[in-house]
Structure 1
Amino acid sequence: MKIILHPKYEHQKEAILQLVEGFFTKGELIVQGSRNTIKSNVLGDEKVNIKFFAKPGPLKSVIYSFFRSTKAKRSFEYANYLLNHKIATPFPIAYVESRSSVNLLGESYYICEQIDYDFTIRELIHQPLFPERNVVLEQFAHFTYNMHEARINFLDHSPGNTLVVKKEPGIYDFYLIDLNRMKFEDMSIEDRMDNFKKMWLSKTMVKVIAKAYSKLSNYPEEQLHTLLLKKTSSFKRKITKKKYLKRKLGKK
């Protein structure tokens, strides 16, 4: 096994390896996916999350082994980039990769701190009367603006991938998770509005986000509203059509 640690955790290398080796028998299950699984466990006196990436198929194993960074490595490196640019994410502790005798990738793991959050953006989507909903959205727009200014194009910017912690009434902190799909590039205003499309915003939420982003970016609110509404509506139509076709094909 190959393990890369954040310098703060060098002294806990053996304990981290033990958590990884006992992943399937110990810890509390958080997410059980078809290929990825997340569990929580304890490292010293700290709660941590361990994300397991299943062994890729033969072709992807070659790609991840020799031509592209693994998901675990990207998660670790991207988290460090975010924190270096003052964008919050659970602190990256380590990543671990198992390799074959010919250096082909097997299973891999990403270990980070556990954030005890209050909710995700998803909860706001279906609850128009969510407490301080517009306040949260305005601060989320500010968080995303800072992300864009740091040249971070988070390709999985969707409702479940931002954890929200309520510090006090009217004050919220935001943490990005599921980090392995990002680009680091200058973003046009159209790119920036496109980055919100997966949030599944209602027309009311679009209006709040556009107004808040306009104040930060100095782009006209009307322009942002038009762009954001167009991107959001187009994405919703695309997903709805895809689901409809899947249902139709499933009946045949």
Structure 2
Amino acid sequence: MPARIDQQLSRLRGEGRLPLAAVGAFSARELSKPLSELLGRYRDALEHWSEAEEGQRELAHEHAGVKLEDWLGGLRRNADGQWASVQLVSGKLHEGRGYKWHSLVRPWVRHLGLQLCGTPVRSLLVSQTGTLELPPLAAEVARGHLNTLIGAWLEGLRRPLPVAGKAAFGWLSGGDDEEKAAREAAKRYDGGFGMSGEAASSPALARVYPDFASLAESGEFATWAETLYGPLYQLLQRRDDEEQGQ
């Protein structure tokens, strides 16, 4: 494994994608540091989920006139006959003691689709900051979540929805304390000292909702935050609470 990493770093140097001389050597070391552990954990996961499924599973789902079709592959089975999708993620999925929630949205949608392709499947996301597991869901539960997302997508074609991912997860982190939830959402959307907000990184959002006050003005923000992102947030929070209680 280290030899493969050195080969790739040499290729980057040859392509001129790393700085020259000592600065380049330092950059190469910084790039390689997290890779050995990351690839080691990925290899361990593949060894545990040792049997690779040949071919792909067909996803065919329809709701409200929208057809969702795809082929999902790369599934693996362990000695107990359980199925998993083991995915190597180049970035970070954890932030302090929590998660980089917005980075989990795309894997979450794929995870829901996998539950409609036969047997229950867990998703293992191997990232620089650790391995995160999305547990399997009942097919009917996953179908309901997908239908909700499709409905929101259709509504989003009619008007800009008053919601944003990072701000929504900030709101959810406030729990039942609405004042705290609003503060957390505003901090993520507007930014603050040494912190760029979500609006600043999205010209489309900033054009319609320049600040959190305008995003929350219609009174719909909390509902959309719960509808779109609540199931993912609650699933991992319940799992974490169960693990801490054991």
Q: Normalised by the size of structure 2, how large is the TM-score?
A: 0.30
Greater helix fraction, Structure 1 or Structure 2: 2
Structure ranking higher on relative contact order (CA contacts 8 Å, 6+ apart): 1
TM-score, structure 1 normalization: 0.29
Q: Is the strand fraction higher in 1 or 2? A: 1
